[in-house]
Homo-oligomer: A and B are copies of this chain.
Amino acid sequence: MKNDPFRASFESLEEFADMVSEVLHCPITIEDANHRLLAYSTHDDRTDPARIATIIGRRVPEKVINSLWKEGVIPSLLNSRDPIRVKTVDEIGLGNRVAVSIWKNDEVLGFIWALEIEKTLGEEEMDCLKRAADATKNKLIQLQNRKNKKEEQFQEFFWQLLTSHLSSNEEIINKFHALQISPPTLFGIAVFQFTKELGRDDEKHIAYLLKTIQLPKILLHTIDHQQLILFISLDGTQQPVNKLNAFCELFVAKMKERFGIESIVQGYSSVYCDLVKVEKAYKEAGTVLSIKRKFPIEAKDIHGYQSLGIYKYIDVLIEKAGTDQNENYSLKRLQEYDKKNNTDLVETLEVFLNKDSNVHEAACALNVHTNTLNYRLKRISEIGEINLKDPNQKITLYLDLKLEKFK
């Protein structure tokens, strides 16, 4: 075995990257397990767009990560200690390169990338890269320790926010600065409910995903039994609520796609500026989850506290309806008619209302001709003595229909 150039100690990861670059005659990039840039070689100025974007953004761009997952590159790196060759993917500006993962026992700490510009690495050089990966291990462990300590501080701070332990806005902002996070001017809290207690592996998966999804920015996150709680900055977003919603759906989709974790129930709060309202926001997300538990079908596609809509009021409505015990006359009449004549007027009405009074859509949903639906609606308004152009009446019917389901 020839002399190993990486045995020598080195001051910084940058220095080490340059050294590897010189030995292999190609640009080198070192990332942590979450694809954040740790170091890159500078002596060689040949590069490709993906690498430039990585260096500029201090992280691998999300679309590049997505592509590498789809191509199976990252799964392979997570499974094998040997270098892997990645072929050019033009759409994302990724040139030919070789990658190797950095291991500590059974855990991947990071990756080394070597760009194959103008030359291709031979077997010996691949082996050399593998040894380089081994040599960075200790350095990465140190980094991780430092990060873990910081992570603990984050955790503590987040729980202080969630329990309103910090009462003044100023105090909170100072703490943010102390942790070197710029405090958001607009934020939301999201909670994801898993089907089982979250273990160390899940935590890593989650952390990985949160780090690689680049927008919106997850400033803080923590895990509480079966729940993942996120503190999300929405600064600079045009439509914060929509953004938040899109993120939550994306997160759930990726968890399933990448790690096969299913049945995650999601809920997120209103959007706030006032940092004192973190606890309120946290409770709102909890409310969403609890309503989803009660009304799994109806609230299936509702994730945000904003969009809870009438369900926000449903408990008091149920209570009120219970004490007054007044049935809706129109519904009663329709139900009687349905029973007597074997028709589906009540169901028709409900679908029609669910579809926002759109005859076309409702007819499709019911698998009937639009004229049929129109005929039924005419009958409904006759029998139930309903004016289907009066929003107040329609809303009442909508509410009473929903209420009836949960009696």
Contacts and interface: CB of A to CB of B under 8 A. Distances in A.
A364 interface: no
Contact of A395 (B389, B393, B398): B398
B354 A391 contact: yes
A337 to B, nearest CB: 13
Given A316-B316, A396-B312, A241 B391 contact: no
Interface string A96-125: 000000000000000000000000000000
Interface in A322-378: 324, 326, 328-330, 353-358
Interface string A369-407: 000000000000010010001111111101100000000
Contacts of A309: 390, 392-393, 395-396
A305 B393 CA distance: 11
Contacts of A270: 326, 329
Copies of the chain in the assembly: 2
Interface string A294-326: 000000001001111111110011011000101
B310 A385 contact: no
Contact of A316 (B317, B356, B358, B395): B317
Contacts of A389: 356, 358
A271 interface: yes
Contacts of A382: 239
A167 interface: no
A169 interface: no
B396 A310 contact: yes
Contacts of A302: 392
A317 B355 CA distance: 25
A148 interface: no
Interface string A240-276: 1110000000000000000000000000001100000
Nearest to A388: B356
A33 B309 CA distance: 58
A312 B241 CA distance: 31
B330 A306 contact: yes
Instruction: Report, nearest first, the 6 A-B pairs whose CB atoms are least far apart.
Output: A309-B392, A309-B396, A241-B385, A316-B316, A356-B391, A316-B320
